[in-house]
Amino acid sequence: MVSSSHEAMHRIFQEDPGVFARTFRTLGLPFPEPVAVSLMPTDLTEIQPLERRVDTLLRIDAAGGDSYLLAVEAQGKKDRGKPGSWAYYVAHLYAKYRLPPLLLVTCQDRSTAEWAAETVVIGPTAWPTLSLRPLVLGPHNVPVFTDVDAAARDIPLATLSAITHGKDPNAGAILKALAAALQTVDEDTAMIFAELTELGLGSAPASQIWRDLMSVDLSFFRSETSQRLRSEGRAMGRAEGRAEDILRILSKRGIAVSEQVRERVVSCSDLDVLSEWLDRSLTAGVGEDLFVATKA
pLDDT, position 51: 40
Gap between the Cα atoms of 191 and 186, Å rounded: 9
pLDDT, position 47: 39
Q: Is the pLDDT of residue 224 over 70?
A: no
pLDDT, position 100: 92
Q: Is the pLDDT of residue 262 over 70?
A: yes
pLDDT band at 195 (very low <50, low <70, confident <90, very high): confident
pLDDT band at 146 (very low <50, low <70, confident <90, very high): very high
pLDDT, position 192: 83
Compute the mean pLDDT over every residue in the chain, rounded to the nearest whole number: 80
DSSP structural state of residue 218:
G
In sequence order, which ranges of the chain are alpha helices (DSSP H)? 4-15, 19-27, 82-97, 110-116, 148-153, 155-164, 171-182, 187-201, 206-214, 224-252, 259-266, 271-281
Q: What Å distances lie between residue 34 and 24, 173, 236, CA to CA?
A: 12, 32, 21
Least confident of 12-26, 89-103, 151-165, 210-224: 210-224
274-283: pLDDT as tens digits: 888 988 888 8
* Count of CA atoms in the C-beta half-sphere (13 A) of 92: 19
Closest CA to 261 of 281, 235, 241: 281
pLDDT, position 43: 54
pLDDT band at 147 (very low <50, low <70, confident <90, very high): very high
